[in-house]
């Protein structure tokens, strides 16, 4: 609960202050080897941020790897990715980013749980993953 | 609590009554072991590295102690007293570890950098106008602290770093 609320606070603060960098127009579609039918796609914008105390600001570039249903995709944040939503049980999204902050490269990772455990064509329309997420370095 | 107060009291006492020998030689540079640490340097903070010891009730400066300075991605070896240019980085500057030895005495200390950006925010706004004024200043400071871009924060180490030698165990 505390983690979730701090992530929300981080996202809200990120939107409120500091420079905001534009991700490329085109979203990168995530490939998976999952055999279940793809019923929709969700775009997620991934940004990287640096937090010190109560201050937080987006950083211009971080090298990230997104892992979803056993497949990994690399990109530089900020970036928009297109997540295929398969029929049936939903899976976690894991994003790990690395950026040079100060004298060394630092890593940070986030795991995003799906909002529902399973989803199918007949289910009411709802997002499975948030449309924006920030990986925060401290 | 007393553990926190004692070193502060010691530092205040030492800085208040000690006079140090002048350092005539130019500042020493550090040797980088990481490319990232070298290329990302924002500025150099010049600090005098000194060693002191207790002699009766007085503190005296010890010259000629051999010290190793270890930071993230760099290191240096100096003989005290010596000016050293310590690298600082925007956003995040790590503490530096200094260990010294001299005549059977030694010391190891971790020196924290000071966030100069936060310090400027703290000192820029002075209080006035009683309780309401103090509250307004506190709110303004809080806003300034939380709305700054922390990746641009500037850091510096203190200009005099005096390490107290004690008998090696």
CA distance B4 to chain A (A): 22
Q: Taking CB atoms and an 8 Å limit, are A52 and B150 in contact across chains?
A: yes
pLDDT given at position B136? 62
Of B89, B146, B151, the CB nearest to A103: B89
Enter the pTM of the model.
0.77
d(CA A104, CA B156): 17
B81–chain A Cβ distance below 8 A for any pair:
no
pLDDT given at position B106? 96
The first and second tokens of residue B149, run together, are 């871009």
pLDDT given at position A122? 81
A131–chain B Cβ distance below 8 A for any pair:
no
Selected for mutation to probe chain B from A18, A98, A102, A106 (highest B CB count within 10 Å) is A102
- Across-strand partners of B114? B156
pLDDT given at position B143? 62
B113–chain A Cβ distance below 8 A for any pair:
no
- Across-strand partners of B49? B82, B161
Contacts of A53 (CB under 8 A, 6+ apart): B118, B145, B146, B150
pLDDT given at position A23? 85
Considering only CA atoms, which of A67, A23, A13, A18 is closest in space to residue A45? A23
pLDDT given at position B16? 52
Banded model confidence at residue A78, pLDDT cuts 50, 70, 90: very high
CATH class, B2-114+157-167 region: mainly beta
Average pLDDT, integer, range A58-68: 94
pLDDT given at position B52? 96
Find, in chain A, the residue whose alpha carbon is nearest to that of B91.
A102
Find, in chain B, the residue whose alpha carbon is nearest to that of A20.
B149
Selected for mutation to probe chain A from B90, B112, B149, B155 (highest A CB count within 10 Å) is B149
ipTM attached to this prediction = 0.72
pLDDT given at position B123? 83
pLDDT given at position B88? 98
pLDDT digits (tens, 9 = 90+) for A83-134: 999 999 999 999 999 999 999 999 999 999 999 988 888 877 889 999 999 9
Task: Write down the domain spans for chain A.
Answer: 2-137
Which residues in chain A (60-119) have CB-CB distances under 8 A to chain B?
Answer: 100-105
CA distance A6 to chain B (A): 14
Residue ranges of chain B with per-residue pLDDT less than 50: 1, 6, 8-14
| Coil, strand or helix at A90 | coil
Mean pLDDT of chain A: 86
pLDDT given at position A9? 45
Task: Write down the domain spans for chain B.
Answer: 2-114+157-167
B37–chain A Cβ distance below 8 A for any pair:
yes
Asked if omega into A28 is within 30° of 0 (cis), the reply is no
CA distance B37 to chain A (A): 4
CA distance A68 to chain B (A): 30
Question: How many other C-beta atoms are found inside a 10 Å radius of the C-beta of residue B32?
Answer: 17
Asked whether B99 and B106 are in contact (CB, 8 A), the reply is yes
């Amino acid at each position: 609960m505390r983690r979730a609320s701090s992530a929300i606070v981080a996202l809200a603060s990120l939107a409120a202050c500091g420079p905001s960098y534009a991700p490329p127009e085109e979203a990168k579609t995530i490939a998976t080897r999952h055999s279940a039918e793809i019923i929709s796609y969700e775009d997620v914008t991934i940004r990287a941020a640096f937090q010190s105390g109560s201050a937080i600001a987006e950083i211009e570039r971080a090298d990230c790897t997104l892992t979803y249903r056993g497949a990994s995709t690399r990109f530089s944040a900020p970036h928009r990715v297109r997540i295929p939503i398969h029929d049936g049980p939903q899976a976690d999204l894991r994003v790990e980013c690395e950026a040079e902050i100060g004298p060394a490269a630092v890593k940070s990772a986030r795991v995003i749980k799906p909002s529902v455990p399973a989803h199918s064509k007949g289910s009411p329309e709802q997002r499975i993953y948030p449309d924006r997420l920030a990986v925060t370095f401290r | 609590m007393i553990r926190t107060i004692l070193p502060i009291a010691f530092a205040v006492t030492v800085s208040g009554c000690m006079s140090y020998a002048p350092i005539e030689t130019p500042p020493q540079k550090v040797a980088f072991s990481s490319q990232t640490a070298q290329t990302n340097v924002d500025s150099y903070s010049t600090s005098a590295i000194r060693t002191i010891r207790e002699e009766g009730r007085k503190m005296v400066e010890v010259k000629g102690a051999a010290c190793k300075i270890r930071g993230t991605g760099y290191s240096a070896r100096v003989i005290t007293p010596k000016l050293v240019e310590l690298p600082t980085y925007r956003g995040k500057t790590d503490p530096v570890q200094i260990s010294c030895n001299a005549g059977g005495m030694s010391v190891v200390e971790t020196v924290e950098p000071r966030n100069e950006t936060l310090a400027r925010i703290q000192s820029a706004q002075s209080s006035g106008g009683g309780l309401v004024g103090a509250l307004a200043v506190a709110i303004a400071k809080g806003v300034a602290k939380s709305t700054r871009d922390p990746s641009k924060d500037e850091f510096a180490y203190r200009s005099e770093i005096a390490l107290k030698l004690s008998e090696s165990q």
